[in-house]
Chain A
């Protein structure tokens, strides 16, 4: 069984986001980490590897320095790593990114593709499902649990207040939530091996069945007007009332705030 995990190097937003004067992200001022949802996806793949002996390949698109997250993934236990990097791929939005990654994936033999739900820098949650669309694969998003069952996967898909359990035949794509698991640490020996290993580097020429007009900044329909840090929401108020009382309570609150 072959699993490909798509990972992304992102700025660590834990200590708040830093911006350049022009409003774009100041990536240099922030630590670069493996996107948390992707890391959970990698851990899920490594657990399948522990059980079944599956081969796990990690793939990322980014600047040459994104090599660091690939080495980290190998130090955790991934077998192979591919870095897709090329100047013409820069400035990509989700459409151009998913086109690029799909073009890289067409070169690989896979049963299961795992991506993170979304990256903490862009927060779109679009790239995973778009890759599946490009490749004509079934997709299950928001995975809170992934199990392999013969030639299928059984995924617990998370909703706000419930789970759906879905079964899909492989090959398919699953997007993982960081709540999925607690990713393992690297091992010291794993780090030494990962640093000695070759990372496969692919450029534009290695992408299969993609059109130049769908790549990079030129192929990106999204235009960013303004970027801002997340606005912290208040804690809100939780009330436990029966349905009739709840309606009355809400109406009262709306009136109080002159909403109605």
Chain B
């Protein structure tokens, strides 16, 4: 077992790092303050192929692997978690299910413009009454002639208003089992912005990742073509769960990046900050904290990269993804909290990045499956 990266991945990392430092970092503070979606950055990322990294070249992508994509989200999130999640939701939650379950026509029609970044993608499962209990969703789709008619609403949708293509999960039938219990059968759909009856509700005001566009989606007799069905009818729930397995690797990378970014700043700051006549980095309390954080971050990185490699090798990777997301998210929260503490009063001031990082870190323990959901997935596999 060799833990060193090969030349391709080393070069890719240096590219993402350089891009993040030059193009993303200078805007991170402003993106957070103004809650503006970083549209110009997304355009630049599209130009350099960042919006379709693991997508085969024949569909307009870069032909790289999940590990390269993970490193991109990681490096972007080191300096701006908003930018990281834009790429993650677009790639893992929209392109990936179309690549996995789409027909050739759907791949040609949707994946190409998504992978080149001409269009942006989103994924809609969560509803006001259905978070962790995704089966509680109420949005329905009924076939009417050559069209599906969608009714319902989705909430907390990342890339909400700025996306062009949405994967929407809706109930297409309700069946009864032998005992008379009702069972919802979900299906997945590809919905384009501008579909009649599709509109946006309120923009969410969030604690962190404030530049990311988080909206409610509303479907009122929204009519989409019959061939907008993604995968087999009635298979929407497994499609959503499989999509989230991939998405969790993306969010785990985002969390990893946030933790790494915070540690980098802590190293620089504690070397400069003087108290009691010497830098605080010379105090053992600081040194031990830095050591613990670095160790924990490296462990998180190993889990995240392992999950990415499991996805690359086409194995089932639900458990690897859940472990990576659980550990990386909790690492991000713990590390950013500790780094704010090391910064003292300055850490609490918005002028310093670490305050933003601590707010950004929290969401990684919540979205794309809370830490509790990850524990359910992991223990479920243990007790099977």
Residues of A within 8 A of B11 (CB): 71-72, 75, 186, 191, 194-195
What residues of B have a CB within 8 angstroms of the CB of A71 in the complex?
7, 11
> Which of B6, B8, B50, B57 has the most chain A CB within a 10 Å cutoff?
B8
B63:A189 contact, CB within 8 angstroms: yes
Q: Which of B2-59 contact A (CB under 8 A)?
A: 6-8, 11-12, 15, 18-19, 48-50, 53, 57
The yes or no answer to B62 lying at the interface (CB within 8 A) is: yes
Q: Which residues of A contact B61 (CB under 8 A)?
A: 189
Cβ-based interface call for A188 (8 A): yes
Indicate if A185 sits at the interface (CB-CB under 8 A).
yes
Cβ distance A34 to chain B, nearest Cβ, rounded Å? 12
A:187-210 near B, CB below 8 Å: 187-192, 194-195
Q: Is B228 an interface residue (CB 8 A)?
A: no
The interface bits of chain B over 71-88 (1 if a CB of A lies within 8 angstroms of the residue's CB, else 0) are: 010000000000000000
Tell me the A173-191 residues at the B interface (CB within 8 Å).
184-191
> In whole Å, how far is A260's beta carbon from the nearest beta carbon of chain B?
47
Name the one of B7, B18, B68 contacting A188, with C-beta atoms under 8 angstroms: B68
Q: Nearest residue in B to A67 (C-beta to C-beta)?
A: B7
CB distance from B335 to the nearest CB of A (A): 26
Chain B interface secondary structure, helix, strand, loop or mixed? Answer: helix
Q: A72-B11, A195-B11 are in contact. Are A188 and B53 (CB under 8 A)?
A: yes
B64 at the interface (CB under 8 A from A): yes
Asked whether A185 lies within 8 Å of B64 as measured between CB atoms, the reply is no
Is the CB–CB distance between B8 and A191 below 8 Å?
yes
Q: A191–B9 Cα gap in the complex (Å)?
A: 9
CA distance A71 to B7 in the complex (A): 10
- B62 close to A195 (CB less than 8 A): no
Closest to B55 in A: A189
> Across the two chains, which residue of chain A brings its CB closest to B57?
A189
Query: How close is A204's CB to chain B, nearest CB, in angstroms?
Result: 27
Cβ 8 A contact of A192, one of B48, B50, B63, B72? B63
B264 shortest CB reach to chain A, Å: 16
B72 touches A188 (CB 8 A): yes
Using C-beta atoms within 8 Å of the partner chain, give the interface range for chain B. Answer: 10 to 19
Contacts of B72 in A (CB 8 A): 188
Instruction: List, in ascending order, chain A residues with CB within 8 A of B50's CB.
Output: 188
Do the beta carbons of B19 and A188 come within 8 Å of each other? Answer: no
**Given A71-B7, A195-B7, is A185 in contact with B12 using a C-beta cutoff of 8 Å?**
no
CA distance A185 to B46 in the complex (A): 12
Q: List the A residue with the shortest CB-CB distance to B65.
A: A192
B62 touches A187 (CB 8 A): yes
Q: Which of A185, A187, A190, A192 contacts B18 (CB 8 A)?
A: A185
With both beta carbons as reference points, the residue of chain A lying nearest to B16 in the complex is identified as: A188
A7 to chain B, nearest CB (A): 16
Q: Which residues of B contact A192 (CB under 8 A)?
A: 8, 62-64, 68
In the complex, chain B residues whose CB is within 8 Å of the CB of A195: 6-8, 11
A192 to B62, CA, bound (A): 9
Q: Which residues of A contact B15 (CB under 8 A)?
A: 75, 185-188, 191
Q: Which of B105-139 contact A (CB under 8 A)?
A: none
Q: Is the pair A191, B18 in contact by a Cβ cutoff of 8 Å?
A: no
- Taken together as a complex, chains A and B put the C-alpha atoms of A195 and B14 apart, in Å, by 14
**A185 pairs with B63, CB closer than 8 A:** no
Chain B residues whose CB sits within 8 angstroms of the CB of A190 once the complex forms: 49
Chain A nearest Cβ from B195, distance in angstroms? 32
A185 to B72, CA, bound (A): 14
Partner of A185, one of B6, B48, B68: B48
With a CB–CB cut-off of 8 A, which chain B residues contact A188? 12, 15, 48-50, 53, 62, 64, 68, 72
B221 CB, nearest partner CB in chain A, Å? 42
A119–B6 CA distance with the chains assembled, in angstroms: 29
- Report how far A184 CA is from B15 CA in the complex, Å: 11
CB-contact partner of A189 in B7, B18, B19, B49, under 8 A: B49
Question: Which residues of B are found within 8 Å of A191, using beta-carbon distances?
Answer: 8, 11-12, 15, 64
- Find the residue from A187, A188, A190, A192 having the highest chain B CB count within 10 A: A188
B68: chain A residues within 8 A (beta carbon): 188, 192
Q: How far is the CB of A31 from chain B (nearest CB, A)?
A: 10
Give B288-322 as 1s and 0s: 1 = Cβ < 8 Å from A's Cβ atoms.
00000000000000000000000000000000000
**CA of A187 to CA of B49 in the docked complex: distance in angstroms?**
6
Query: What CA separation (Å) do A190 and B63 show in the bound complex?
Result: 9
Report the minimal beta-carbon distance from B99 to chain A, rounded to whole angstroms.
16
Chain B: residues with CB nearer than 8 A to chain A?
6-8, 11-12, 15, 18-19, 48-50, 53, 57, 61-64, 68, 72
Q: What are 11 residue pairs bridging A and B, where the CB atoms are less than 8 Å apart in the complex?
A: A186-B15, A187-B48, A188-B48, A188-B62, A188-B68, A189-B57, A189-B61, A189-B62, A191-B64, A192-B63, A195-B6
Residues of chain A having any CB pair with chain B under 8 Å? 71-72, 75, 184-192, 194-195
Give me 19 other A-B pairs in contact (C-beta within 8 A), A185-B48, A186-B15, A195-B11 excluded.
A71-B7, A71-B11, A72-B11, A75-B11, A75-B15, A184-B48, A185-B18, A185-B19, A186-B11, A188-B12, A188-B49, A188-B53, A188-B62, A188-B68, A191-B12, A192-B62, A192-B64, A192-B68, A194-B11
Interface pairs A-B: 7 shortest CB-CB: A189-B62, A187-B49, A188-B62, A195-B8, A191-B11, A188-B64, A186-B15
